[in-house]
Structure 1
Amino acid sequence: MSEAENDPALNARATPSGSGKRVRKLLVNLTVVVAIAYTMAAGFMYLNQRSFLFVPTGELSDPAEAGLDQVAVETVTMADGTQISVWSAAPAVEGAPTVLYFHGNSGNVSTRASRFKQILDSGFGLYAPSYRGYAGSEGSPTEVDLISDGREHFQAVAGLTDRIIIHGESMGTGVATAIAADQPDTDLLVLEAPYTALVDRAYEQYPWLPVGLLMIDQMPTRERIGNVRAPILIVHGTEDFVIPVEHGKRLFERAADPKEILIFDGAAHNNLWSQGLWPAVLDAWEKTKAEE
C-alpha cells in the first residue's frame, strides 16, 4: 500500500465532503427552480400578450354629446364580414382633406372627441374607425387584421375625397405607416408619438425575455416607413416615457424626404395636442399644398 493511500489528508481532499455535495445539490435545485419560473413567466407573457397590447375600454358615446353634431356613426362591414364602427364627417371646406385617424391602444374612438373637434373646426373631414374588439366593433384586434381593415378604410375614404391625411396616434402609428406605405395617393402622413416597432419597445421593457420569438404582433414601422412616398410629419415629446422620443428620431432618419420632425420639450405621451400638435399639422398641410 502506498504512502498516499494511508494519508488521511490526501484522502479527504480527493473525496467530496458531505457539505460540498449539499452545496452542489442546492445549486442544481436552484437552477431548476429558476428555469421553471422563467419558462412560466415567458409562457404567461406569450399567452396574454394581446391583453397587454390592446386595451379597449369604455363605451362608444354619441358624437353629439361631445359637441360633434356633424359626425355620423356608421357601421361598415369588412371583407371578412366583421362589422366596424366609424365616426365620419365630410369636409366643411371645399378642397379640404379628410383625416383618416388611427387611434392608440387604449380607450376608444369617442375618447378622442376633443381632438376630432380641432380637426373639424379647421374644415377638414374625418374618418375614424374603431378597431376590432374596441367599443362598437366586432372581432379581436391583431396586427394583420388592423392593417387589412386599414386598407379597406383608406379605399372608403378615397371614394369620397381625393385628399387624404393619414394620422396615427401611438399604437396607431404602426397601422398608419403600413397603410401609407401601400397607398401612393396619401397626401400627408402624421405620426404622433410613434415607435420603431412594437417588438423594439417590448424588448426595452422586458430585456430578459426573447420577445423577438414570443411576440406575434411586432408592427415593424422601421421597415415600412422607407416605402412611404407622402410627406411625413413626426411629432414627439421629450418626456414621453411610454414611447421614448428616440423612437421618433430613429424613424425620422429612416424616412424618405419630404419629412419633418417636431419635438416638444417637456411634452409627455398624451398631451401633444395641448402642446400644439394640430397647428403643426395645419402648417405641414400648407407646405404640402405649396409643393403640388
Structure 2
Amino acid sequence: MPSYNTNARIARFALSTSAAVIGSLAAYWTLLATRQGHILFNARKRPVVHLSEDFSTYSHPVPGGMVRGYVYHPQGEAAVQDLFLYLAGRGEDVRVTAQALHWLPEGFGMAAINYRGVADSQGSPSEVASVADAEQFARHLRRAFPQARLHIVGRSLGTGVAIQLSARQPFESLQLVTPYDSMLEVAKKRFPLVPLSLLLRHRFNSIEHSKEVAAKTQVLLAERDDVVLHERSQKLIDAWPTPVSVKTVANSDHHNIMGLEETWLRLIDFALTSVLPEPMAA
C-alpha cells in the first residue's frame, strides 16, 4: 500500500496542477476581457499595398489616429452609377480585397475602410466604433457620389456592421456574405472554456438589429465553411423580417469566397435587380 508520504506528494501535485490550470484560465480570460476588441478584429498592421490611379483615398480622425479607406472608380467619379460599400471580414485588409475588382462592370465602383487598428487604420477597434466609422463613411460617399446608388456588402464579421448600418440609413440593397446570427454564438465554438456570456462586449447581435432593416437582401453562403457554420447563418436567415434571397457559391470556403468570380457576379446581378425603375411620367 502507498505510504502516507506518497499520498501527500500526490495530493500536493494535484493541488499545484489545479492551481496552475485555474491560474492559466484566469489569465486567458483576463486577456480576452481586456484585449477582446483587438482579438475579435485581428487588429494588426499589414504590409503596404500599392493601388492604382483608379482609387481615391479617404480618411477621418479617431482617437489614436486615422481611419483610412479607398474608393474604386476606374471610369472616374462621375461615371459611378452603382457603388458597393464593402464592410470587411476579420483582419481583412481592404486594399488586398480590392485586387479582385476587375470583375466589376462599367458604372460600378467599390468603397471600403479598414477597421480601427487593422492594416493602415489606427485606433482601438470595437463594435460601436466600426458601426460609427461605417456611418461616417457612408455619409461621405453620399456627398461625394450624389448620382450613385449605394449598396452594402458585408462579409463575415462585417455582416454584423452592415446590418446595423442598414438599419440606420437607407440603401438600395444589402448583401451578406457568410453572415452569422450573433458573434456570441460564433465565439462559443472557438472559446468553449470561456464564460463569454459574461465577458463578451462586442456581441454583434445581428438577429436583433435585423428587425430594423428594410433594404432588399441577399445572403451568399460558402459551400464549405468551418468558421461561420451554416447553422449560424441559417438562424439569421430564418429570423429575417422580409423575404431574403439565399445563394451558395460553388467551390467556395470561408476564406476564398471573395476571390471568386461567381461571388462578384452574384453581387452585381442582385444590385442591378434591386434598383427600382424610374416612375413613368404622367
TM normalised by structure 2 equals: 0.83
Deviation at 1:122, TM superposition (A): 4.1
Match of 1:71 among 55, 62, 68: 55
Partner of 2:25: 38
CA distance in 2, matches of 1:158, 1:91: 18
1:244–1:58 Cα change, 3 Å: same
Greater RCO structure (CA 8 Å; 6+ sep)? 2
Q: How do 1:149-228 and structure 2 match up within 5 A?
A: 149-159=133-143, 160-161=145-146, 163-183=149-169, 185-228=170-213
Deviation at 1:163, TM superposition (A): 1.4
1:269 aligns with 2:254: yes
CA distance in 1, matches of 2:142, 2:212: 20
Match of 2:95 among 85, 94, 110: 110
Partners of 1:238 and 1:268 within 8 A in 2: yes
- Structure 1 residue matching 2:211: 3-state secondary structure: helix
1:47–1:158 Cα change, 3 Å: same
Match of 1:135 among 116, 119, 144: 119
- Structure 1 residue matching 2:176: 3-state secondary structure: strand
Partners of 2:175 and 2:267 within 8 A in 1: yes
Partners of 2:89 and 2:156 within 8 A in 1: yes
Letter matched to residue 213 of structure 1: L
CA distance in 2, matches of 1:222, 1:280: 24
TM normalised by structure 1 equals: 0.80
In terms of Rg, which structure is larger?
A: 1
Partners of 1:57 and 1:108 within 8 A in 2: no
Deviation at 1:259, TM superposition (A): 1.4
Runs (5+) with no aligned partner, structure 1? 1-16
1:32–1:116 Cα change, 3 Å: same
- Structure 2 residue matching 1:267: 3-state secondary structure: strand
Q: Deviations over 1:168-226 (max 9, x none)?
A: 1221111111101111x211111111222222111111222101211222221221122
1:88–1:52 Cα change, 3 Å: same
Percent of matched pairs sharing the same residue: 22
Letter matched to residue 252 of structure 2: A
1:100 aligns with 2:85: yes
CA distance in 2, matches of 1:136, 1:209: 31
- Structure 1 residue matching 2:154: 3-state secondary structure: strand
Q: Deviations over 1:71-97 (max 9, x none)?
A: 1123x2247695222211448486721
CA distance in 1, matches of 2:177, 2:133: 20
Partners of 1:78 and 1:149 within 8 A in 2: no
CA distance in 2, matches of 1:89, 1:41: 41
Deviation at 1:33, TM superposition (A): 4.6
CA distance in 1, matches of 2:20, 2:64: 47
1:205–1:137 Cα change, 3 Å: closer
CA-atom RMSD in angstroms: 2.9
Partners of 2:67 and 2:122 within 8 A in 1: yes
Q: Deviations over 1:148-181 (max 9, x none)?
A: 1111111112222351101112211111111011
CA distance in 1, matches of 2:63, 2:18: 48
Partners of 1:78 and 1:152 within 8 A in 2: no
Match of 1:50 among 37, 49, 54: 37
CA distance in 2, matches of 1:38, 1:140: 25
Match of 1:285 among 254, 267, 271: 271
Letter matched to residue 126 of structure 1: M
Runs (5+) with no aligned partner, structure 2? none
Letter matched to residue 277 of structure 1: T
- Structure 1 residue matching 2:166: 3-state secondary structure: helix
CA distance in 1, matches of 2:35, 2:238: 33
Letter matched to residue 100 of structure 1: L
CA distance in 1, matches of 2:103, 2:219: 18
CA distance in 2, matches of 1:152, 1:108: 19
Between the two proteins, the alignment pairs up a number of residues equal to 269
Partner of 1:7: none
Deviation at 1:267, TM superposition (A): 2.1
